[in-house]
Amino acid sequence: MPGKTSQLMTGISGVTYELLYPGAYTLLKVYFRPNEEIKAESDAMVAMSSTIDLESKMEGGILGGLSRKFLTGESFFLQKLVARRGEGWALFGQTGLGDIQAVDLDGSANYIVQKDGFLAGTEGVQISTKLQNLVQGLASGEGFFVLKITGRGTLFLSSYGAIHTINIPAGQDYIVDNHHLVAWADTTQYSIERASNGWISTFTSGEMLVCRFRGPGKVLIQTRNPASFGEWLKKFLPPPSGEQNQQQSNVSSVMDMASKFM
């Protein structure tokens, strides 16, 4: 039975699933038919029925696993879950705080996914790496290699924050901050540019570089910026020992100077 906060949905491949507790702590629950298979990111499985077998899988063989590990930083192995003893279910969760969204791939468009965006996919979903050009690799924040998702099936994406889908008509442009990207269809044209016309405005606006997408195609963005969150979190963490000693020394110097005037 579906949970109170979700409803049963069926993907293009016939897989039945529901998204529990949507928002910051979303869980993906997949209902397996006999012999149905789901692949997932390493350590994504939270719980499963006893009818499911959990195995490791090297998508694309050894070369595919090596390219994901050393070019994108993703896990060498994927999880492979197969319902070999009848119907069953499995729960999947992501590492961070955020949402999960399903994308049906009908073969008409492939998707480029940022490095932490892939959570799971049905058997027909294929995962490989894609080389970005020099400007995209240096400026996108994702490095020179990203994930390329092809095939036909249901893809499950994870994000930091909620996922918002933008449908860009043919010939129209859309600007997205590069740290808010989750995935985009390869039918779109993608370039990186300054956020503002002038460099002074670019620096003072707080937005350095942005991504310009030209339709047709879909772009999926996340509502929160992990880089900004990291910078915010640093304010509440103690400095490294060397910096802490320097700060203490600075405080002592100020106190010594102040005592001379007292």
Instruction: Quick: pLDDT tens for 90-146.
Output: 999 998 889 999 999 999 999 999 878 999 999 999 998 876 544 444 444 554 468
Check residue 261 and give its pLDDT.
Answer: 40
Q: Give the domain CATH number at 219.
A: 3.60.160.10
**Does the pLDDT at position 65 exceed 50?**
no
Classify residue 239: in a domain, yes or no. no
- When divided into structural domains, the chain yields a total of 1
End-to-end CA distance of the chain: 75
More confident residue, 32 or 59: 32
Does any domain span residue 260?
Answer: no
pLDDT of residue 40: 95
At 182-204, the pLDDT tens digits run 999 999 998 888 765 554 444 44
Strands of the chain, DSSP E: 9-10, 16-20, 27-32, 37-40, 45-48, 52-57, 78-83, 88-92, 100-106, 111-113, 118-122, 125-131, 145-158, 163-168, 173-177, 181-185, 189-194, 209-214, 217-222
Q: Which domain holds residue 74?
A: 9-233
The answer to whether residue 205 sits within a structural domain is yes
Quick check: is 238 in a domain?
Answer: no
